[in-house]
Amino acid sequence: MNDEADARIFSMMKDPALRDKGFLQLMDTYKVPVYWHIRRMVVSHEDAEDILQETFINVYRFAHTYKGDSKVYTWLYRIATNECISHFRKNKRWINKAINITDEMAGELSVNDAEHSEAILLKFQKAILQLPKQQRIVFNMRYFDELSYEDMEQILNSSVSALKTNYHFASEKIKQYLIDHA
Contact 55, 80 (CB under 8 A): yes
Q: Which residue has the higher pLDDT, 156 or 111?
A: 156
Domain ranges of the chain: 1-92, 130-182
CATH for 1-92 (1.10.1740.10, 1.10.8.60, 1.10.3720.10, 1.20.1250.20): 1.10.1740.10
Q: Which residue has the higher pLDDT, 133 or 94?
A: 133
Residue 124's pLDDT band, with cuts at 50, 70 and 90, is confident
109 pLDDT exceeds 70? no
Rounded mean pLDDT, 149-172: 94
Residue 113's pLDDT band, with cuts at 50, 70 and 90, is very low
Q: Which amino acid is it at 96? A: N
Contact 49, 89 (CB under 8 A): no
User: What's the pLDDT at 118?
Assistant: 62
Residue 115's pLDDT band, with cuts at 50, 70 and 90, is low
pTM exceeding the 0.95 threshold for the entire prediction = no
Alpha helices (H) along 43-159: 45-62, 72-90, 94-111, 116-129, 133-139, 149-156
User: What's the pLDDT at 51?
Assistant: 95
Q: Which residue has the higher pLDDT, 120 or 26?
A: 26
Rounded mean pLDDT, 121-127: 82
How far apart, in whole angstroms, are the C-alpha atoms of residue 26 and residue 5? 10
What would the CATH number be for the domain defined by 130-182?
A: 1.10.10.10
Contact 60, 14 (CB under 8 A): no
Contacts of 167 (CB under 8 A, 6+ apart): 135, 138, 139, 142
How far apart, in whole angstroms, are the C-alpha atoms of residue 110 and residue 129? 20
User: What's the pLDDT at 136?
Assistant: 92
Question: 10 Å Cβ neighbour count for 131?
Answer: 20
Q: Which residue has the higher pLDDT, 106 or 141?
A: 141
Residue 72 has phi, psi (to 5 degrees) of -60, -45
How far apart, in whole angstroms, are the C-alpha atoms of residue 177 and residue 136? 14
Q: What is the CA radius of gyration of the chain?
A: 18
| HSE-CB for 151 with a 13 A CA cutoff | 15
User: What's the pLDDT at 153?
Assistant: 94
Q: What is the mean pLDDT of the chain?
A: 84
User: What's the pLDDT at 29?
Assistant: 94
* Residue 65 DSSP class: G
Angle, CA of 29, 80 and 37, to the nearest 5°: 70
Question: 10 Å Cβ neighbour count for 79?
Answer: 20
How far apart, in whole angstroms, are the C-alpha atoms of residue 83 and residue 48? 10
42 pLDDT exceeds 80? yes
